Chains A and B, each alone.
Chain A
Amino acid sequence: MQTGKNADFFNPQYSMNNNLTLIVILGITVMLGLMLSVLLAVFFNFRKKRQHRKALEFLKEQQQNQLIEAAIRSEETERHRIAETLHDEVGAMLSSAKLHLLGIKLDLLDEKDKQLHEKGAGLLNQVVRKIRSISHNLHSNILKEFGLNEAIRHFLQQVTGGTMIKAETRLDENYTDSYSETDISLYRILQELINNTFKYAEATRLTVSSTFRDNQLSLTIAHNGNGLSQSDFETYSFQKEGLGLKNIRNRILLLKGSILFSKTPGECSIQITLPVQPKPAVHA
Protein backbone atom coordinates (compact mmCIF):
# COMPACT_ATOMS: atom_id res chain seq x y z
CA MET A 1 0.00 0.00 0.00
CA GLN A 2 1.32 3.39 -0.85
CA THR A 3 0.96 5.86 1.95
CA GLY A 4 2.75 8.85 0.54
CA LYS A 5 4.92 10.19 -2.25
CA ASN A 6 8.08 8.66 -0.80
CA ALA A 7 6.57 5.22 -1.05
CA ASP A 8 6.96 5.48 -4.87
CA PHE A 9 10.68 4.87 -4.49
CA PHE A 10 9.93 1.25 -3.64
CA ASN A 11 8.00 0.82 -6.86
CA PRO A 12 10.34 -0.80 -9.46
CA GLN A 13 8.50 0.95 -12.32
CA TYR A 14 9.04 4.34 -10.62
CA SER A 15 12.72 3.56 -10.12
CA MET A 16 13.13 2.65 -13.80
CA ASN A 17 11.37 5.87 -14.83
CA ASN A 18 13.61 7.82 -12.58
CA ASN A 19 16.75 6.15 -13.92
CA LEU A 20 15.73 6.80 -17.52
CA THR A 21 14.95 10.44 -16.76
CA LEU A 22 18.26 10.79 -14.99
CA ILE A 23 20.18 9.22 -17.89
CA VAL A 24 18.53 11.56 -20.37
CA ILE A 25 19.17 14.65 -18.22
CA LEU A 26 22.76 13.62 -17.54
CA GLY A 27 23.34 12.66 -21.16
CA ILE A 28 22.04 15.96 -22.53
CA THR A 29 23.96 17.93 -19.89
CA VAL A 30 27.23 16.10 -20.53
CA MET A 31 26.91 16.35 -24.31
CA LEU A 32 25.98 20.02 -24.18
CA GLY A 33 28.76 20.67 -21.67
CA LEU A 34 31.28 18.96 -23.93
CA MET A 35 29.99 20.87 -26.92
CA LEU A 36 30.17 24.20 -25.14
CA SER A 37 33.69 23.39 -23.89
CA VAL A 38 34.80 22.73 -27.46
CA LEU A 39 33.20 25.96 -28.65
CA LEU A 40 34.78 27.92 -25.80
CA ALA A 41 38.17 26.32 -26.51
CA VAL A 42 37.86 27.32 -30.18
CA PHE A 43 36.80 30.83 -29.20
CA PHE A 44 39.70 31.36 -26.77
CA ASN A 45 42.12 29.80 -29.21
CA PHE A 46 41.00 32.19 -31.94
CA ARG A 47 41.26 35.15 -29.58
CA LYS A 48 44.79 34.13 -28.65
CA LYS A 49 45.74 33.71 -32.30
CA ARG A 50 44.29 37.12 -33.12
CA GLN A 51 46.18 38.78 -30.26
CA HIS A 52 49.36 37.04 -31.39
CA ARG A 53 48.83 38.20 -34.95
CA LYS A 54 48.14 41.76 -33.79
CA ALA A 55 51.32 41.77 -31.72
CA LEU A 56 53.27 40.49 -34.71
CA GLU A 57 51.78 43.16 -36.97
CA PHE A 58 52.62 45.83 -34.41
CA LEU A 59 56.22 44.61 -34.19
CA LYS A 60 56.46 44.50 -37.98
CA GLU A 61 55.11 48.03 -38.26
CA GLN A 62 57.48 49.22 -35.55
CA GLN A 63 60.43 47.62 -37.32
CA GLN A 64 59.36 49.14 -40.64
CA ASN A 65 59.05 52.56 -39.00
CA GLN A 66 62.49 52.20 -37.47
CA LEU A 67 63.95 51.35 -40.87
CA ILE A 68 62.25 54.32 -42.54
CA GLU A 69 63.38 56.58 -39.71
CA ALA A 70 66.96 55.38 -40.02
CA ALA A 71 66.87 55.90 -43.80
CA ILE A 72 65.43 59.41 -43.42
CA ARG A 73 67.91 60.31 -40.71
CA SER A 74 70.88 59.11 -42.74
CA GLU A 75 69.54 61.01 -45.75
CA GLU A 76 69.26 64.15 -43.61
CA THR A 77 72.80 63.69 -42.27
CA GLU A 78 74.12 63.25 -45.78
CA ARG A 79 72.27 66.38 -46.94
CA HIS A 80 73.88 68.34 -44.10
CA ARG A 81 77.31 66.98 -44.92
CA ILE A 82 76.96 67.89 -48.61
CA ALA A 83 75.53 71.32 -47.71
CA GLU A 84 78.43 72.03 -45.36
CA THR A 85 81.01 70.86 -47.88
CA LEU A 86 79.43 73.00 -50.59
CA HIS A 87 79.19 76.03 -48.34
CA ASP A 88 82.50 75.80 -46.50
CA GLU A 89 84.77 74.29 -49.12
CA VAL A 90 83.37 74.80 -52.61
CA GLY A 91 81.83 78.13 -51.65
CA ALA A 92 85.08 79.35 -50.06
CA MET A 93 87.10 78.28 -53.09
CA LEU A 94 84.69 79.98 -55.46
CA SER A 95 84.78 83.16 -53.35
CA SER A 96 88.57 83.04 -53.47
CA ALA A 97 88.46 82.51 -57.25
CA LYS A 98 86.11 85.47 -57.51
CA LEU A 99 88.56 87.61 -55.50
CA HIS A 100 91.38 86.59 -57.77
CA LEU A 101 89.32 87.36 -60.81
CA LEU A 102 88.39 90.76 -59.45
CA GLY A 103 92.10 91.36 -58.77
CA ILE A 104 92.88 91.38 -62.48
CA LYS A 105 93.60 94.94 -63.70
CA LEU A 106 91.06 95.72 -66.35
CA ASP A 107 93.16 98.58 -67.79
CA LEU A 108 95.70 96.12 -69.14
CA LEU A 109 93.08 94.11 -71.01
CA ASP A 110 91.83 94.77 -74.48
CA GLU A 111 88.13 95.05 -75.25
CA LYS A 112 87.69 91.35 -76.08
CA ASP A 113 89.43 90.21 -72.85
CA LYS A 114 87.38 92.74 -70.87
CA GLN A 115 84.21 91.16 -72.22
CA LEU A 116 85.50 87.68 -71.37
CA HIS A 117 86.45 88.87 -67.87
CA GLU A 118 83.03 90.37 -67.34
CA LYS A 119 81.35 87.20 -68.61
CA GLY A 120 83.55 85.03 -66.34
CA ALA A 121 82.88 87.21 -63.29
CA GLY A 122 79.12 87.12 -64.01
CA LEU A 123 79.14 83.34 -64.35
CA LEU A 124 81.20 83.00 -61.19
CA ASN A 125 78.68 85.17 -59.33
CA GLN A 126 75.86 82.97 -60.59
CA VAL A 127 77.72 79.80 -59.51
CA VAL A 128 78.36 81.26 -56.02
CA ARG A 129 74.68 82.18 -55.70
CA LYS A 130 73.61 78.76 -56.96
CA ILE A 131 75.96 76.98 -54.55
CA ARG A 132 74.60 79.10 -51.68
CA SER A 133 71.06 78.33 -52.72
CA ILE A 134 71.71 74.57 -52.99
CA SER A 135 73.53 74.63 -49.69
CA HIS A 136 70.63 76.44 -47.99
CA ASN A 137 68.11 74.06 -49.47
CA LEU A 138 70.02 71.04 -48.32
CA HIS A 139 70.65 72.52 -44.91
CA SER A 140 67.74 73.38 -42.65
CA ASN A 141 69.23 76.51 -41.09
CA ILE A 142 66.26 78.76 -41.69
CA LEU A 143 63.94 76.07 -40.48
CA LYS A 144 66.06 75.72 -37.38
CA GLU A 145 66.14 79.40 -36.61
CA PHE A 146 62.85 80.84 -37.89
CA GLY A 147 60.49 77.87 -38.07
CA LEU A 148 58.55 76.07 -40.79
CA ASN A 149 56.48 78.99 -42.10
CA GLU A 150 59.52 81.16 -42.73
CA ALA A 151 61.44 78.28 -44.28
CA ILE A 152 58.56 77.65 -46.72
CA ARG A 153 58.41 81.35 -47.68
CA HIS A 154 62.18 81.47 -48.15
CA PHE A 155 62.20 78.30 -50.24
CA LEU A 156 59.40 79.57 -52.47
CA GLN A 157 61.19 82.87 -52.93
CA GLN A 158 64.33 81.02 -53.96
CA VAL A 159 62.70 78.72 -56.49
CA THR A 160 60.42 81.31 -58.04
CA GLY A 161 62.79 84.29 -57.91
CA GLY A 162 63.62 85.52 -61.41
CA THR A 163 60.90 83.38 -63.03
CA MET A 164 57.41 84.08 -64.33
CA ILE A 165 55.87 81.82 -61.69
CA LYS A 166 53.52 83.48 -59.23
CA ALA A 167 53.85 81.96 -55.78
CA GLU A 168 51.74 82.87 -52.80
CA THR A 169 51.66 81.69 -49.20
CA ARG A 170 48.75 81.70 -46.74
CA LEU A 171 50.27 80.06 -43.71
CA ASP A 172 48.66 79.71 -40.31
CA GLU A 173 50.78 81.73 -37.91
CA ASN A 174 49.39 79.79 -34.95
CA TYR A 175 51.75 77.02 -35.91
CA THR A 176 54.95 77.94 -34.16
CA ASP A 177 56.42 74.54 -33.45
CA SER A 178 60.07 75.22 -34.09
CA TYR A 179 62.49 72.74 -35.55
CA SER A 180 61.01 69.37 -34.75
CA GLU A 181 61.49 66.15 -36.69
CA THR A 182 57.98 66.70 -38.07
CA ASP A 183 58.99 70.11 -39.42
CA ILE A 184 62.08 68.78 -41.18
CA SER A 185 60.13 65.96 -42.80
CA LEU A 186 57.31 68.29 -43.78
CA TYR A 187 59.79 70.78 -45.22
CA ARG A 188 61.49 68.06 -47.28
CA ILE A 189 58.12 66.82 -48.53
CA LEU A 190 57.19 70.36 -49.56
CA GLN A 191 60.54 70.89 -51.29
CA GLU A 192 60.08 67.68 -53.29
CA LEU A 193 56.46 68.44 -54.18
CA ILE A 194 57.10 72.05 -55.20
CA ASN A 195 60.15 71.07 -57.27
CA ASN A 196 58.05 68.37 -58.97
CA THR A 197 55.25 70.86 -59.59
CA PHE A 198 57.58 73.21 -61.48
CA LYS A 199 59.51 70.43 -63.16
CA TYR A 200 56.72 68.14 -64.38
CA ALA A 201 53.38 69.88 -63.89
CA GLU A 202 54.58 73.11 -65.55
CA ALA A 203 52.58 75.27 -63.18
CA THR A 204 52.64 79.06 -63.47
CA ARG A 205 50.69 79.84 -60.34
CA LEU A 206 51.14 78.19 -56.95
CA THR A 207 49.70 78.73 -53.49
CA VAL A 208 50.89 77.12 -50.29
CA SER A 209 48.44 77.39 -47.41
CA SER A 210 48.24 75.84 -43.98
CA THR A 211 45.82 75.49 -41.09
CA PHE A 212 46.64 74.35 -37.60
CA ARG A 213 43.77 73.16 -35.43
CA ASP A 214 43.35 70.56 -32.68
CA ASN A 215 46.96 69.42 -32.98
CA GLN A 216 46.43 68.75 -36.68
CA LEU A 217 48.51 70.56 -39.24
CA SER A 218 47.05 70.65 -42.71
CA LEU A 219 49.18 71.93 -45.58
CA THR A 220 47.84 72.47 -49.07
CA ILE A 221 49.70 73.13 -52.28
CA ALA A 222 47.36 74.35 -55.00
CA HIS A 223 48.57 75.04 -58.54
CA ASN A 224 47.31 75.44 -62.09
CA GLY A 225 49.61 72.86 -63.67
CA ASN A 226 49.05 69.32 -64.85
CA GLY A 227 49.50 67.59 -61.51
CA LEU A 228 49.06 64.06 -60.25
CA SER A 229 45.88 62.36 -59.16
CA GLN A 230 45.77 60.12 -56.08
CA SER A 231 45.98 56.97 -58.21
CA ASP A 232 48.95 58.43 -60.16
CA PHE A 233 50.72 59.05 -56.84
CA GLU A 234 49.99 55.50 -55.63
CA THR A 235 51.32 54.09 -58.90
CA TYR A 236 54.47 56.19 -59.14
CA SER A 237 55.38 55.94 -55.47
CA PHE A 238 55.55 52.15 -55.78
CA GLN A 239 57.67 52.23 -58.93
CA LYS A 240 61.41 51.71 -58.70
CA GLU A 241 62.20 55.01 -60.41
CA GLY A 242 59.95 57.18 -58.25
CA LEU A 243 62.46 57.78 -55.48
CA GLY A 244 61.17 61.25 -54.55
CA LEU A 245 57.55 60.12 -54.26
CA LYS A 246 58.66 57.01 -52.40
CA ASN A 247 60.45 59.22 -49.88
CA ILE A 248 57.32 61.33 -49.51
CA ARG A 249 55.23 58.23 -48.90
CA ASN A 250 57.72 56.94 -46.32
CA ARG A 251 57.89 60.24 -44.48
CA ILE A 252 54.09 60.52 -44.39
CA LEU A 253 53.86 56.93 -43.15
CA LEU A 254 56.39 57.64 -40.43
CA LEU A 255 54.59 60.80 -39.31
CA LYS A 256 51.27 58.88 -39.28
CA GLY A 257 49.79 61.47 -41.58
CA SER A 258 47.98 61.39 -44.88
CA ILE A 259 48.48 62.87 -48.31
CA LEU A 260 45.69 63.52 -50.77
CA PHE A 261 46.16 64.45 -54.40
CA SER A 262 43.21 65.88 -56.25
CA LYS A 263 42.98 66.91 -59.85
CA THR A 264 40.34 68.92 -61.62
CA PRO A 265 40.70 70.70 -64.98
CA GLY A 266 42.78 73.82 -64.43
CA GLU A 267 43.33 73.23 -60.71
CA CYS A 268 45.35 70.64 -58.86
CA SER A 269 45.99 70.36 -55.17
CA ILE A 270 47.95 68.28 -52.72
CA GLN A 271 46.81 68.19 -49.13
CA ILE A 272 49.02 66.88 -46.35
CA THR A 273 47.54 66.34 -42.91
CA LEU A 274 49.73 65.49 -39.95
CA PRO A 275 49.17 65.05 -36.26
CA VAL A 276 51.50 67.37 -34.36
CA GLN A 277 52.13 66.65 -30.73
CA PRO A 278 52.41 69.84 -28.65
CA LYS A 279 55.89 70.34 -27.31
CA PRO A 280 56.23 69.91 -23.56
CA ALA A 281 56.66 73.21 -21.73
CA VAL A 282 60.28 74.00 -20.89
CA HIS A 283 60.78 75.11 -17.30
CA ALA A 284 63.66 77.33 -16.38
Chain B
Amino acid sequence: MYFLYKKLFAWAEVWPLAVALIVYLLYKQKDGGIGIIIRLLGISLLLYAIASYISNYTYRVPEPFKNNNILYNLLMILKPLMIGTYLLRLKQLQQYKYLRVVLFLFILFTLFNFLFLGSVFVFSTYMVLAESAVLLIFTHTFFLDAMVDDEIPLPLNHPAYYICIAISILESMNLFIYLFLFPLFYTNYEFAILISNILGIAHIIYGLTIAAGLYANREKRRFFQPTVLHE
Protein backbone atom coordinates (compact mmCIF):
# COMPACT_ATOMS: atom_id res chain seq x y z
CA MET B 1 0.00 0.00 0.00
CA TYR B 2 2.78 2.40 0.95
CA PHE B 3 4.57 1.48 -2.27
CA LEU B 4 1.47 2.36 -4.30
CA TYR B 5 1.00 5.64 -2.41
CA LYS B 6 4.66 6.51 -3.06
CA LYS B 7 4.37 5.70 -6.75
CA LEU B 8 1.13 7.67 -7.09
CA PHE B 9 2.81 10.76 -5.67
CA ALA B 10 6.06 10.22 -7.54
CA TRP B 11 4.14 10.20 -10.82
CA ALA B 12 1.40 12.64 -9.75
CA GLU B 13 2.21 15.01 -12.61
CA VAL B 14 1.81 12.25 -15.17
CA TRP B 15 -1.00 9.76 -14.53
CA PRO B 16 -3.85 12.32 -14.00
CA LEU B 17 -3.01 13.76 -17.44
CA ALA B 18 -3.05 10.24 -18.85
CA VAL B 19 -6.51 9.74 -17.33
CA ALA B 20 -7.69 12.95 -19.04
CA LEU B 21 -6.28 11.82 -22.37
CA ILE B 22 -7.87 8.36 -21.99
CA VAL B 23 -11.25 10.10 -21.46
CA TYR B 24 -10.56 12.08 -24.65
CA LEU B 25 -9.66 8.92 -26.56
CA LEU B 26 -12.81 7.15 -25.34
CA TYR B 27 -15.28 9.96 -26.02
CA LYS B 28 -15.68 12.22 -29.02
CA GLN B 29 -15.92 15.84 -27.89
CA LYS B 30 -18.75 18.30 -28.61
CA ASP B 31 -16.73 21.48 -28.63
CA GLY B 32 -14.24 21.97 -31.46
CA GLY B 33 -12.17 24.52 -29.53
CA ILE B 34 -10.98 21.88 -27.07
CA GLY B 35 -8.27 20.75 -29.55
CA ILE B 36 -5.63 23.13 -28.17
CA ILE B 37 -6.20 21.79 -24.63
CA ILE B 38 -5.81 18.24 -25.90
CA ARG B 39 -2.53 19.22 -27.56
CA LEU B 40 -1.40 20.83 -24.29
CA LEU B 41 -2.37 17.67 -22.40
CA GLY B 42 -0.39 15.54 -24.83
CA ILE B 43 2.71 17.74 -24.65
CA SER B 44 2.42 18.05 -20.84
CA LEU B 45 2.09 14.30 -20.48
CA LEU B 46 5.21 13.71 -22.54
CA LEU B 47 7.33 16.41 -20.84
CA TYR B 48 6.14 15.57 -17.30
CA ALA B 49 6.71 11.87 -17.95
CA ILE B 50 10.33 12.54 -19.01
CA ALA B 51 10.85 15.00 -16.13
CA SER B 52 9.39 12.56 -13.58
CA TYR B 53 11.48 9.73 -14.96
CA ILE B 54 14.63 11.86 -14.64
CA SER B 55 13.81 12.85 -11.05
CA ASN B 56 12.67 9.36 -9.97
CA TYR B 57 15.43 7.39 -11.72
CA THR B 58 18.27 9.92 -11.86
CA TYR B 59 20.83 7.16 -11.40
CA ARG B 60 19.71 5.48 -14.62
CA VAL B 61 19.87 8.64 -16.75
CA PRO B 62 23.12 9.50 -18.56
CA GLU B 63 24.91 12.54 -17.16
CA PRO B 64 24.11 15.07 -19.94
CA PHE B 65 20.35 14.42 -19.54
CA LYS B 66 20.05 14.58 -15.77
CA ASN B 67 18.75 18.14 -15.73
CA ASN B 68 14.97 18.26 -16.15
CA ASN B 69 14.62 22.00 -15.49
CA ILE B 70 14.45 22.81 -19.18
CA LEU B 71 11.29 20.64 -19.43
CA TYR B 72 9.59 22.48 -16.56
CA ASN B 73 10.62 25.83 -18.05
CA LEU B 74 9.18 24.79 -21.40
CA LEU B 75 5.89 23.78 -19.74
CA MET B 76 5.78 27.09 -17.88
CA ILE B 77 5.88 28.87 -21.24
CA LEU B 78 3.47 26.59 -23.08
CA LYS B 79 0.76 26.38 -20.41
CA PRO B 80 -0.17 30.10 -20.26
CA LEU B 81 0.15 30.46 -24.04
CA MET B 82 -2.07 27.50 -24.91
CA ILE B 83 -4.65 27.92 -22.15
CA GLY B 84 -4.69 31.67 -22.78
CA THR B 85 -5.33 31.07 -26.49
CA TYR B 86 -8.12 28.60 -25.66
CA LEU B 87 -9.84 31.08 -23.32
CA LEU B 88 -9.35 33.99 -25.73
CA ARG B 89 -11.13 32.01 -28.43
CA LEU B 90 -14.22 31.81 -26.24
CA LYS B 91 -16.76 34.40 -27.37
CA GLN B 92 -17.34 35.72 -23.87
CA LEU B 93 -13.66 36.63 -23.27
CA GLN B 94 -13.03 38.28 -26.61
CA GLN B 95 -14.24 41.63 -25.26
CA TYR B 96 -11.44 41.77 -22.67
CA LYS B 97 -8.63 43.33 -24.70
CA TYR B 98 -6.26 43.47 -21.73
CA LEU B 99 -5.97 39.67 -21.83
CA ARG B 100 -4.17 39.92 -25.16
CA VAL B 101 -1.86 42.53 -23.65
CA VAL B 102 -1.19 40.22 -20.68
CA LEU B 103 -0.32 37.38 -23.03
CA PHE B 104 1.94 39.64 -25.09
CA LEU B 105 3.71 40.90 -21.93
CA PHE B 106 4.18 37.30 -20.83
CA ILE B 107 5.96 36.50 -24.11
CA LEU B 108 8.17 39.59 -23.70
CA PHE B 109 8.94 38.65 -20.10
CA THR B 110 9.80 35.07 -21.09
CA LEU B 111 12.28 36.33 -23.70
CA PHE B 112 13.74 38.84 -21.25
CA ASN B 113 13.99 36.24 -18.49
CA PHE B 114 15.80 33.60 -20.50
CA LEU B 115 18.01 36.09 -22.34
CA PHE B 116 19.09 38.26 -19.41
CA LEU B 117 17.99 36.87 -16.04
CA GLY B 118 18.67 33.18 -16.15
CA SER B 119 19.44 30.15 -18.24
CA VAL B 120 16.81 27.77 -19.60
CA PHE B 121 18.67 24.99 -17.76
CA VAL B 122 17.95 26.53 -14.39
CA PHE B 123 14.49 26.36 -12.82
CA SER B 124 13.14 29.91 -13.03
CA THR B 125 11.07 31.07 -10.06
CA TYR B 126 10.36 34.30 -11.95
CA MET B 127 8.69 32.22 -14.60
CA VAL B 128 6.65 30.41 -11.94
CA LEU B 129 5.42 33.77 -10.77
CA ALA B 130 4.69 34.98 -14.31
CA GLU B 131 2.95 31.73 -15.31
CA SER B 132 0.73 31.70 -12.23
CA ALA B 133 -0.08 35.40 -12.53
CA VAL B 134 -1.07 35.12 -16.20
CA LEU B 135 -3.17 32.01 -15.68
CA LEU B 136 -4.88 33.42 -12.58
CA ILE B 137 -5.69 36.67 -14.45
CA PHE B 138 -7.24 34.64 -17.28
CA THR B 139 -9.24 32.28 -15.06
CA HIS B 140 -10.45 35.06 -12.73
CA THR B 141 -11.53 37.16 -15.71
CA PHE B 142 -13.46 34.13 -16.93
CA PHE B 143 -15.18 33.67 -13.55
CA LEU B 144 -15.82 37.40 -13.16
CA ASP B 145 -17.43 37.55 -16.58
CA ALA B 146 -19.58 34.53 -15.75
CA MET B 147 -20.81 36.36 -12.63
CA VAL B 148 -21.34 39.77 -14.22
CA ASP B 149 -23.28 38.47 -17.21
CA ASP B 150 -27.05 38.42 -16.59
CA GLU B 151 -27.41 35.11 -18.34
CA ILE B 152 -25.30 32.02 -17.71
CA PRO B 153 -22.96 32.58 -20.68
CA LEU B 154 -21.89 28.99 -21.22
CA PRO B 155 -23.68 25.76 -20.37
CA LEU B 156 -22.51 24.48 -17.00
CA ASN B 157 -21.08 21.31 -18.53
CA HIS B 158 -18.79 23.37 -20.79
CA PRO B 159 -15.17 22.24 -20.38
CA ALA B 160 -14.00 25.87 -19.91
CA TYR B 161 -15.40 25.82 -16.34
CA TYR B 162 -13.55 22.63 -15.50
CA ILE B 163 -10.33 23.88 -17.11
CA CYS B 164 -10.51 27.21 -15.25
CA ILE B 165 -11.24 25.47 -11.93
CA ALA B 166 -8.37 23.03 -12.49
CA ILE B 167 -5.92 25.76 -13.50
CA SER B 168 -6.86 28.16 -10.72
CA ILE B 169 -6.52 25.49 -8.00
CA LEU B 170 -3.19 24.27 -9.39
CA GLU B 171 -1.72 27.72 -9.93
CA SER B 172 -2.81 29.19 -6.61
CA MET B 173 -0.94 26.33 -4.88
CA ASN B 174 1.89 26.22 -7.41
CA LEU B 175 2.74 29.85 -6.90
CA PHE B 176 3.72 29.65 -3.22
CA ILE B 177 5.02 26.12 -3.31
CA TYR B 178 7.51 26.61 -6.17
CA LEU B 179 8.61 30.00 -4.93
CA PHE B 180 9.80 28.55 -1.64
CA LEU B 181 10.29 24.88 -2.40
CA PHE B 182 14.03 25.06 -3.09
CA PRO B 183 14.95 27.22 -0.06
CA LEU B 184 12.82 24.85 2.03
CA PHE B 185 14.76 21.82 0.83
CA TYR B 186 17.87 23.35 2.42
CA THR B 187 16.23 24.67 5.57
CA ASN B 188 13.33 22.32 6.41
CA TYR B 189 13.67 19.17 4.36
CA GLU B 190 10.74 17.27 5.87
CA PHE B 191 8.38 20.14 5.30
CA ALA B 192 9.66 20.49 1.74
CA ILE B 193 8.79 16.83 1.14
CA LEU B 194 5.34 17.40 2.59
CA ILE B 195 4.89 20.47 0.39
CA SER B 196 5.94 18.58 -2.72
CA ASN B 197 3.34 15.94 -1.83
CA ILE B 198 0.74 18.71 -1.60
CA LEU B 199 1.91 19.85 -5.02
CA GLY B 200 1.32 16.28 -6.17
CA ILE B 201 -2.25 16.50 -4.86
CA ALA B 202 -2.70 19.79 -6.77
CA HIS B 203 -1.54 18.06 -9.96
CA ILE B 204 -3.90 15.13 -9.34
CA ILE B 205 -6.83 17.56 -8.85
CA TYR B 206 -5.74 19.41 -12.02
CA GLY B 207 -5.61 16.33 -14.23
CA LEU B 208 -8.75 14.70 -12.88
CA THR B 209 -10.78 17.94 -13.08
CA ILE B 210 -9.81 18.30 -16.75
CA ALA B 211 -10.73 14.63 -17.25
CA ALA B 212 -14.14 15.36 -15.69
CA GLY B 213 -14.51 18.36 -18.03
CA LEU B 214 -13.76 16.20 -21.06
CA TYR B 215 -16.25 13.60 -19.84
CA ALA B 216 -18.92 16.29 -19.34
CA ASN B 217 -18.22 17.56 -22.86
CA ARG B 218 -18.54 14.12 -24.47
CA GLU B 219 -20.69 13.73 -27.54
CA LYS B 220 -20.53 9.98 -28.06
CA ARG B 221 -18.29 7.02 -27.47
CA ARG B 222 -15.56 6.47 -30.02
CA PHE B 223 -15.53 2.69 -29.50
CA PHE B 224 -17.98 0.05 -28.27
CA GLN B 225 -21.06 2.06 -29.17
CA PRO B 226 -24.23 0.35 -27.90
CA THR B 227 -26.32 -0.94 -30.79
CA VAL B 228 -30.03 -0.05 -30.86
CA LEU B 229 -32.21 -2.95 -31.80
CA HIS B 230 -35.25 -2.16 -33.93
CA GLU B 231 -38.16 -4.48 -34.00
Residues of chain A at the chain B interface (Cβ within 8 Å): 13, 16-17, 20-21, 23-24, 27-28, 31-32, 34-35, 38-39, 41-42, 45-46, 49-50, 53
CB-contacts of B152-188 with A (<8 A)? 152, 156, 165, 168-169, 172-173, 175-177, 179-180, 183-184, 187-188
Known pairs A17-B187, A50-B152. 6 more at Cβ < 8 A?
Answer: A24-B195, A27-B179, A27-B180, A31-B175, A32-B173, A42-B143
Contacts of B191 in A (CB 8 A): 21, 24
Report the bound CA distance from A50 to B156 in whole Å: 11
- Smallest CB separation, A185 vs chain B (Å): 36
State whether B173 touches A31 (Cβ < 8 A): yes
State whether A45 touches B172 (Cβ < 8 A): no
State whether A41 touches B177 (Cβ < 8 A): no
State whether B184 touches A21 (Cβ < 8 A): yes
State whether B156 touches A38 (Cβ < 8 A): no
Report the bound CA distance from A221 to B178 in whole Å: 75
State whether A35 touches B168 (Cβ < 8 A): yes
State whether A20 touches B173 (Cβ < 8 A): no
A-B contact count (CB 8 A): 61
Report the bound CA distance from A24 to B176 in whole Å: 6
State whether A27 touches B175 (Cβ < 8 A): yes
State whether A28 touches B198 (Cβ < 8 A): yes
Contacts of B168 in A (CB 8 A): 35, 38-39
- Smallest CB separation, B89 vs chain A (Å): 21
Q: A21-B191, A31-B173, A35-B172 are in contact. Are A49 and B184 (CB under 8 A)?
A: no
Contacts of B198 in A (CB 8 A): 28
Contacts of A23 in B (CB 8 A): 176, 180
7 residue pairs A–B, Cβ–Cβ below 8 Å: A17-B187, A20-B183, A28-B172, A42-B143, A46-B146, A49-B151, A50-B152
